[in-house]
Amino acid sequence: MILRELNGESSKTYLIADEGRGRAVLVDPLWTHVERYLAVLAYHRLELDMAIDTHTHADHLSGCPQLRFLVGAPFAMHKWAPSPAVDIHLEDGEEFSVGDLTVRVLHTPGHTPDGMSLVVEGHVLTGDTLFIGGCGRTDFAGGDAGSQYDSVTRKLFTLPDETVVHPGHDYRGNTTSTIDAEKRTNPRLANRTRPDFIHLMNNLNLSPPQNIQEVLQPNQSALGRDEISFPDWSELKQVRLVDIEGLQAMLLSDKPPLLVDVREPGEYSGELGHLAGSILLPLRELINRLEDIDEHKEAPVVTVCRAGMRSATAAAILGKSGFTDVSNLAGGLVAWNEAGLPVER
C-alpha cells in the first residue's frame, strides 16, 4: 500500500494506492496542485479510480472536478455533499476497493454536514473532523458542534487505539498521530463532556477564511464567479432557515409558499426527485429570471436544493432583490427523502 501526503503544506492531499495492482484514489486534492498529482500518478504508473473530497472545502478550490475532466476519474463525496458535480455519493459504512485494498467510509459530520473519514489498513483519513491536537471549526453554514463531538467520540475514537490519524489540515508541522494519542492529549476533546465541547466550539469567535467567497460557494455549487455574483458572508448568515416540519406546516397554511428549486434540470428529475408544485430556476439562471417570480416579491418563498447550500445562496440573492419573505429548506431534498416524504419525478 502507498499512503502518502502530497502537498507538504497545511492543507493535506492524500494518495491511497495499491502499487502492485496499479490502482489509486486521491483524497482532498487542491485545484492548484493537479499537475503535481498527475506527475506522481505517472511516476508510480498508477491509474486513478476516484478523486474524493472528505467534505465541502471553504479554504481551497477542489481539484476533483479538474481531475475528472483531465483523466476521467469520477468525483466522489458523501451523500450530503451539495455540489451537483459529484458523480458518486458515498454513505456511512460503505466500502470500496482500490486494487486489493478496502476503504471504509465513516460519516463524520460536524465541521460540515457532508464530512466523512476514510479507514484503510490501520489508518484513518479524518478530513476536517479531527486534527492532531485539534478539530475543524463548526461555525460554517450547516456546522454543528454536537455532531462533531459525536463523530469523534462515537466513531473515530472507537477505532483501535493504534490506528494512525492523517488529518486534513495541520498548522504546526505535524504529520500523523494515533487515535490513542488524540484521546489522551487533544486539548479540544480530552476529558471534555459534550456540553463542554459545544460551549468551547460555539465561542471560538474565529474569522472566516480570507477567500471563503471565492472557494466555498463555487465548491458547493460547481459555479464560478464568471457565472454568478455570489452574496457575501454576512448576507448568507442572515438567511432564514425552515426545517422539514416547518415547511410541511407552511404548505398546509392559507398562504402556502412558492417553492423555488435551484438545482440543475437533471437533478430536478433525478434520483431525489422534486417537491410537488415547485418550479425549477437553476441557480446559474436565477438573477436573470427574477421576472418569472416577480409577483411573489411580498409572498412567502422557500428555496430548495440538494442539501440546503445552493438554496441558501439563492435565498440571499432573492433577499437582495427585494423579496421580503424568503426561507431556505435546511437539508434540502436529501433531508426530505431521508424523512420518507413524497416527491415527484
- What is the 3-state secondary structure of 151-183? HHHHCHHHCCCCCEEEECECCCCCCCEEHHHHH
**90 close to 103: Cβ distance less than 8 angstroms:** no
Q: Does a structural domain hold residue 333?
A: yes
Q: Is residue 136 located within the same domain as residue 270?
A: no
Segments forming the whole domain that contains residue 157: 2-201
Residue 188, pLDDT score? 97
pLDDT tens figures, 86-112: 999 999 999 999 999 999 999 999 999
Mean pLDDT of all residues in 6-27 = 98
Q: Does a structural domain hold residue 210?
A: no
Binning pLDDT at 50, 70 and 90, where does residue 207 land?
A: confident
Whether the per-residue pLDDT at 318 is higher than 90: the answer is yes
pLDDT tens figures, 221-235: 999 888 999 998 889
Q: Of 168, 201, 234, at which residue does a domain stop?
A: 201
Strand pairing category for 47-52 and 75-78: parallel
C-alpha cell at 345: 419525478
Q: Is residue 50 located within the same domain as residue 164?
A: yes
Whether the per-residue pLDDT at 54 is higher than 90: the answer is yes
Q: Does a structural domain hold residue 212?
A: no
Half-sphere CA count of 232, side-chain side, radius 13 A: 2
Q: What's the Cα-to-Cα distance from 232 to each of 143, 267, 313, rounded to whole Å?
A: 18, 26, 9
pLDDT tens figures, 321-334: 999 999 999 999 99
CATH number of the domain to which 260 belongs:
3.40.250.10
Binning pLDDT at 50, 70 and 90, where does residue 243 land?
A: very high
Mean pLDDT of all residues in 129-146 = 95
Whether the per-residue pLDDT at 210 is higher than 90: the answer is no
Q: Is residue 181 located within the same domain as residue 53?
A: yes
Q: Is residue 246 located within the same domain as residue 196?
A: no
pLDDT tens figures, 149-203: 999 999 999 999 999 999 999 999 999 999 999 999 999 999 999 999 999 999 9
Q: What are φ and ψ of residue 127, in 5° steps?
A: 55, -135
Task: Round the average pLDDT of the chain to a whole number and report it.
Answer: 96
Q: Is residue 192 located within the same domain as residue 259?
A: no
Cell 419525478, located at residue? 345
The pTM assigned to this predicted structure is 0.95
Task: Tell me which of 131 and 232 has the higher pLDDT.
Answer: 131
Residue 332, pLDDT score? 98
Task: Tell me which of 214 and 97 has the higher pLDDT.
Answer: 97
Q: Is residue 238 located within the same domain as residue 299?
A: yes
Q: Does a structural domain hold residue 313?
A: yes
User: Among 40-49, 70-79, 200-209, where is mean pLDDT lowest?
Assistant: 200-209
